[in-house]
């Protein structure tokens, strides 16, 4: 079993169907497989083999899925790193997963650690921006390969001869076009072999590498295609980050399994998204509640949604009023789901068969959901407790972190840390979160990671980071700070300090300077009291 077989199958059944759209660049499924096969040959020439880790540190572009499937084809593991990460974060993840090869987007090169800091990395491959030298510009299909060879020189270079950009050993398209043109035989992998590692922040403040197996990804994408009715003639738009499990598995990998078309945008830009949707006749819209709210506030968006037949929302709970307004304006029901990176991500789906407003639906095929009390005992219907998940979608564990794995996986059950209720019909409602995690527009932010950075500031004596309500993003990060005596700093300086050391979305949006933080008798900072102050408008 290998998730890459999904690409092989779609290339066999739909060779001439459009597979990837990235601006003016387009690939059929036959061309998609051809380039993935060539990259697999190139990786093999670099010494990459089954089980090795290859990092993808780049933004959204067609090179991401091509490289992803090349990695899987050789039996290696694709490791996704957020393109918003800073050098220290990247260094930790690359070292933690023991990667030997790193693909870095041209725009991300400034945050790539020095080679001295990455002693295990043998090869760095730079991925040029679309339209740059070697990126194939505005060409399609076989002409794309010819153009890439031309810009690399009269003769396509071998991997060892590929031109090196600053901080890199190879250029992506030079590797691809210098590799053998014949099909690459996809390496057999066991269903328990790792396919992906996606990093998610943990309570310790350090990211954790979620290992998703081929069995996880095949099962979850198959469920998505079946239950969400993804068809070969569907056209899916993806502006959500491909390094995130929602976009990577629910959108991108599911589109390959269905033989559908994936329209890639580098980011969410309202005008550009609406323009591309109309031009490309997009049929499926997947987003987070924040984006639904932004679209509702945008006039004349109807044209873009004229061809859309299906809408889906995940990452955070969709407000019932927003769903009502959406249906009233566009005539489209918002299908919802629930899951997390550790469940590949889908676990529950508020489906097309019988949608139940105010819930996130029922468990997907072959998946069980229970509600547990603090002692790990199942609770009856109607009682709130921790949501736990069991099934072929549950991760193998956290890479190189047996302690966190043992805490999260209990007898095959995935402890989510979320509080929920199952009703008499088996529909799940999300009540609250057990942990202190901040959920901003579907992005998970752990306060301690932000606090660790704040404590490195010379003016900060004590701090506590909490999530506060935000009408658009659901929650925003707020830092409550006690300054050292005799020091001064303003809120903008604190925010800039964090942005220089963390991915931008993790940095505080608000800062409050306080004389002291509420504490228990033992000196523990009481974040519950800080949140109560926010709720009371203090």
The token pair at 446 is: 């752990």
Q: Give alpha helix (H) positions in 105-236.
A: 141-152, 172-178, 214-227
pLDDT digits (tens, 9 = 90+) for 371-382: 999 999 999 999
Report residue 437's pLDDT band, with 50, 70 and 90 as the boundaries.
Answer: confident
The pTM for the full model equals 0.82
Of all residues in the chain, what percent carry a pLDDT higher than 90? 72
Backbone angles phi, psi at 278, to 5 degrees: -70, -45
Please tell me the CATH superfamily of domain 222-433, with its number: ANL, N-terminal domain (3.40.50.12780)
Instruction: For 409-434, give the DSSP string.
Output: EETTEEEEEEEEEE-TTS-EEEEEES
Report residue 137's pLDDT band, with 50, 70 and 90 as the boundaries.
Answer: very low
Q: How far apart are CA 90 and CA 111, in angstroms?
A: 7
H/E run at residue 275: helix 270-280
What is the reported pLDDT for 168? 78
Domain range list for the chain: 5-14+28-189, 222-433, 438-535
pLDDT digits (tens, 9 = 90+) for 73-113: 999 999 999 999 999 999 999 999 999 999 999 999 999 99
232 to 24, 65, 302, 377: CA distances (angstroms): 21, 18, 24, 43
Question: Does domain 438-535 bear CATH number 3.30.300.30?
Answer: yes
Work out the average pLDDT over 118-134. Answer: 80
Q: How far apart are CA 280 and CA 307, in angstroms?
A: 9
The position carrying tokens 């001064």 is 488
The pLDDT mean for the chain works out to: 89
Q: Give alpha helix (H) positions in 393-526.
A: 402-408, 447-454, 491-499
Of all residues in the chain, what percent carry a pLDDT higher than 70? 90
Report residue 247's pLDDT band, with 50, 70 and 90 as the boundaries.
Answer: very high
Fold of 5-14+28-189: Rossmann fold (3.40.50)
Do the domains 222-433 and 438-535 sit in the same CATH topology, yes or no? no
The token pair at 459 is: 């003016």
pLDDT digits (tens, 9 = 90+) for 328-360: 999 999 999 999 999 999 999 997 678 888 889
pLDDT digits (tens, 9 = 90+) for 271-307: 999 999 999 999 999 998 888 988 998 999 999 999 9
Q: DSSP strand E in 23-69: where? A: 25-28, 53-57
Q: How far apart are CA 208 and CA 203, in angstroms?
A: 10
């Amino acid at each position: 079993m290998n998730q890459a077989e999904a690409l092989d199958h779609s290339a066999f059944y739909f060779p001439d169907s459009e597979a990837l759209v990235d601006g003016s660049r387009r690939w059929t499924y036959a061309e998609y497989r051809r380039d993935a096969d060539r990259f697999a040959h190139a990786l093999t020439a670099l010494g990459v083999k089954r089980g090795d880790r290859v990092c993808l540190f780049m933004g959204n572009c067609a090179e991401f899925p091509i490289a992803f499937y090349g990695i899987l084809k050789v039996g290696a593991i694709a490791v996704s790193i957020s393109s918003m990460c800073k050098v220290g974060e990247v260094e930790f993840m690359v070292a933690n997963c023991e990667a030997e090869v790193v693909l870095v987007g041209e725009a991300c090169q400034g945050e790539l650690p020095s080679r001295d800091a990455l002693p295990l990395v043998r090869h760095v491959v730079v991925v040029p921006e679309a339209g740059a030298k070697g990126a194939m510009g505005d060409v399609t299909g076989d002409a794309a390969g010819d153009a890439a060879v031309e810009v690399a020189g009269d003769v396509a270079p071998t991997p060892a001869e590929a031109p090196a950009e600053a901080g890199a050993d190879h250029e992506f398209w030079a590797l691809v076009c210098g590799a053998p043109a014949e099909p690459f035989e996809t390496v057999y992998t066991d269903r328990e072999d790792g396919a992906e590692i996606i990093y998610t922040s943990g309570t310790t403040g350090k990211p954790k590498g979620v290992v998703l197996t081929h069995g996880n990804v095949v099962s979850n994408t198959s469920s998505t295609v079946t239950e969400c009715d993804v068809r070969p003639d569907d056209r899916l738009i993806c502006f959500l980050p491909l390094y995130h499990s929602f976009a990577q598995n629910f959108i991108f990998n599911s589109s390959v399994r269905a033989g559908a078309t994936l329209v890639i945008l580098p980011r969410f830009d309202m005008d550009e998204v609406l323009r591309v949707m109309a031009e490309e006749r997009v049929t499926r819209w997947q987003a987070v509640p924040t984006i639904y709210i932004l679209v509702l506030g945008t006039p004349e968006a109807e044209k873009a949604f004229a061809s859309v037949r299906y809408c889906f929302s995940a990452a955070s709970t969709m407000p019932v009023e927003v769903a009502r307004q959406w249906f009233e304006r566009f005539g489209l029901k918002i299908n919802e789901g629930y899951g997390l990176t550790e469940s590949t991500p889908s676990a529950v789906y508020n489906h097309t068969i019988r949608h139940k407003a105010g819930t996130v639906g029922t468990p997907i095929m072959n998946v069980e959901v229970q509600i547990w009390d603090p002692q790990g005992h199942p609770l009856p219907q109607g009682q709130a407790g921790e949501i736990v998940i069991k099934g072929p979608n549950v991760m193998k564990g956290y890479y190189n972190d047996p302690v966190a794995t043992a805490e999260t996986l209990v007898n095959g059950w995935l402890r989510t840390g979320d509080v929920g209720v199952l009703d008499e019909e088996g529909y799940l409602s999300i009540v609250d979160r057990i942990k202190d995690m901040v959920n901003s527009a579907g992005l998970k932010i752990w306060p301690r990671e932000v606090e660790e950075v704040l404590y490195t500031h010379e003016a900060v004596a004590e701090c506590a980071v909490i999530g506060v309500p935000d009408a658009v993003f659901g929650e925003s990060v707020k830092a409550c700070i006690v300054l050292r005596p005799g020091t001064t700093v303003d809120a903008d300086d604190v925010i800039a300090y964090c942005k220089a050391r963390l991915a931008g979305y993790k940095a505080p949006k608000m800062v409050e300077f306080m004389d002291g933080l509420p504490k228990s008798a033992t000196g523990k900072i009481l974040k519950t009291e800080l949140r109560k102050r926010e709720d009371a408008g203090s």
